[in-house]
Amino acid sequence: MTVEAEFKPGLEDVPAAKSAVSFLDGKKARLEYRGIPVEVLAQQSNYEETAWLLIKGDLPTQKQLAEFDHDLRQRRAVHYRLKDLIRCMPADGHPMDALHASVAALGLFYPCPNVADPARNWDASMRLIAAMPTLVAAFARTRRGDEILDPRPDLDHAANFLYMLGGKEPTPAARKVFDACLVLHAEHQMNASTFTARVAGSALANPYQVIASAIGTLSGPLHGGANEEALEQFEGIGGPQNVKGWLDAKRAADPKYKVMGLGHRVYKVKDGRATVLQEIAEHMFAETARPKTYETALELERVAAGIYGPKGIYPNVDFYSGVVYQSLGIPTDVFTPIFAIARVAGWLAHWHEQLVNNRIYRPDQISVGKNDVPYVPLEQRP
């Protein structure tokens, strides 16, 4: 007698790979990149060094980091015909769709067809990290009728993106908080988009298609976009003074009401990334003022703690990141593309890892359909 395998929807808790890229303990809010706590990297490192760490496996030497940073800056600019392609995209199109198409097209201009060549793979990896901010900023500007700005090689990764997007150099505090956001979102184990990248990589797809596939998965509302929904929620509440009444009304209408930005499949305590993001954001808000949406988020977290906390439901990183992005002048529908700008380092780290002792993903299924159904000629069908 055949024993039917256990079916777990969404492959929940089913290991899909052995990976050394990151470690996560949701009960202790512990996230490490290659063994280093993410909060340490967000506060003491930067995105460039973090990207090297994730892909290469160890922190770089001063010489390695300097060369890597230089090489990234040299690869920020994209072919003029790719910019023409972006200009032809519909202005009302979603930035994630534009990024998906642009990254796939990037591979046409800078091909890497043979993934058995480590040198070509590394070059493509650097180009993807360097060029994705350029692609996101280019579409964001051209759709509102502004000229596409060339990247500035005198600025670091975070500052250059904010410059290309808004047209002016960010303050040191703004640059720091955005750089921290990139570090905090750079990797998060076997989420849906990372799994997609590994599946595409296992088929030996080129790195541009691997990343485009991951971007396509990230565009789904069940994966990316939570920070947009959380921000819209705070704006809809209208201020911290309205939080309790708003939440009471929502729960009266639906006792199982889900507050956007609260809860995570893995974390059973407050997401450590949310905590460190708050700490760094406070330094930026000290230069300006706390946005009303931030004050609303703080009050919602306080009120919700007594209701949802006993169930292990606490703020995740998306609870506050949208508020930070808004304070930096970033359009709401660019939030998820920024997620991709950050996560490309993690995707590439998993892709490189997948290529070692690679075996194509080919999971099984439990067939529940009909068997031995006779074919009825068309003229005999009722």
Mean pLDDT of the chain: 94
Contacts of 273 (CB under 8 A, 6+ apart): 31, 38, 39, 42, 184, 185, 316, 317
**What CATH number has the domain bearing residue 242?**
1.10.230.10
For residue 224, the model assigns a pLDDT of 84
Residue 365 above 70 pLDDT? yes
Burial class (CB in 10 A: 0-12, 13-18, 19+), 377: exposed
Spot the catalytic one: 185, 188, 271, 318.
318
For residues 114 and 56, the answer to whether their CB atoms sit within 8 Å is no
The secondary structure of 327-342 as a DSSP string is: HTT--GGGHHHHHHHH
Q: What's the mean pLDDT in 297-323? A: 92
- Our count of domains for the chain comes to 2
Residue 3 above 70 pLDDT? no
- Same domain (yes/no): 318, 336: no
Is 264 annotated in the active site? yes
For residue 249, the model assigns a pLDDT of 96
For residue 4, the model assigns a pLDDT of 61
- Same domain (yes/no): 207, 351: yes
Instruction: For residue 204, give both structure tokens.
Output: 């030996």
pLDDT digits (tens, 9 = 90+) for 90-118: 999 999 999 999 999 999 999 999 999 99
Q: What's the mean pLDDT in 305-320? A: 91
pLDDT digits (tens, 9 = 90+) for 141-150: 999 999 999 9
Residue 377 lies in a domain: no
Distances (CA, A) of 97 to 125, 159, 220, 336: 21, 24, 11, 11
Is 318 annotated in the active site? yes
- Same domain (yes/no): 180, 318: no
Backbone φ and ψ of 182, nearest 5°: -65, -45
Q: How far is the first Cα of the chain from the last one, in angstroms, to the nearest whole number?
A: 38
* Confidence class for position 266, pLDDT limits 50, 70, 90: confident
Q: What's the mean pLDDT in 80-98? A: 97
Compute the distance between CA of residue 236 and CA of residue 232 in angstroms, rounded to an integer: 6
Q: Tokens 């534009």, residue? A: 98
For residue 226, the model assigns a pLDDT of 82
Residue 9 above 90 pLDDT? no
For residues 213 and 272, the answer to whether their CB atoms sit within 8 Å is no
pLDDT digits (tens, 9 = 90+) for 191-229: 999 999 999 999 999 999 999 999 999 999 888 888 888
Compute the distance between CA of residue 272 and CA of residue 265 in angstroms, rounded to an integer: 14
Q: Which of 317, 222, 327 is nearest to 261 (CA)?
A: 317
- Same domain (yes/no): 115, 252: no
For residues 270 and 315, the answer to whether their CB atoms sit within 8 Å is yes
Q: What's the mean pLDDT in 181-200? A: 96
- Same domain (yes/no): 127, 197: yes
This prediction's pTM: 0.93
The secondary structure of 1-50 as a DSSP string is: -PPPPPP-GGGTT-------SEEEETTTTEEEETTEEHHHHHHHS-HHHH
Residue 361 lies in a domain: no
For residue 23, the model assigns a pLDDT of 97
Helix axes 157-166, 118-142, angle to 10 degrees: 30
**What CATH number has the domain bearing residue 166?**
1.10.580.10
- Same domain (yes/no): 186, 281: no
Residue 234 lies in a domain: yes
Spot the catalytic one: 264, 271, 350, 352.
264
- Same domain (yes/no): 29, 178: yes
Residue 155 lies in a domain: yes
* Confidence class for position 267, pLDDT limits 50, 70, 90: confident
- Same domain (yes/no): 338, 316: no
What is the layout of strands, in order, in the sheet containing 30-33? 22-25, 30-33, 36-37
* Confidence class for position 371, pLDDT limits 50, 70, 90: very high
Domain with 139, as residue range(s), is 20-222+332-355
Residue 302 above 80 pLDDT? yes
Q: How many CA atoms lie within 13 A of 242 on its CB side?
A: 12
For residue 13, the model assigns a pLDDT of 82
Residue 10 lies in a domain: no
Instruction: For residue 129, give both structure tokens.
Output: 């990290």
For residue 1, the model assigns a pLDDT of 39
For residue 49, the model assigns a pLDDT of 98
- Same domain (yes/no): 199, 250: no
Residue 214 lies in a domain: yes
Q: What's the mean pLDDT in 66-89? A: 98
Q: What's the mean pLDDT in 348-367? A: 95
- Same domain (yes/no): 91, 165: yes
- Same domain (yes/no): 280, 198: no
For residues 166 and 329, the answer to whether their CB atoms sit within 8 Å is yes
Contacts of 143 (CB under 8 A, 6+ apart): 89, 91, 92, 93
Residue 3 lies in a domain: no
Residue 371 lies in a domain: no
- Same domain (yes/no): 254, 242: yes
Residue 136 above 50 pLDDT? yes
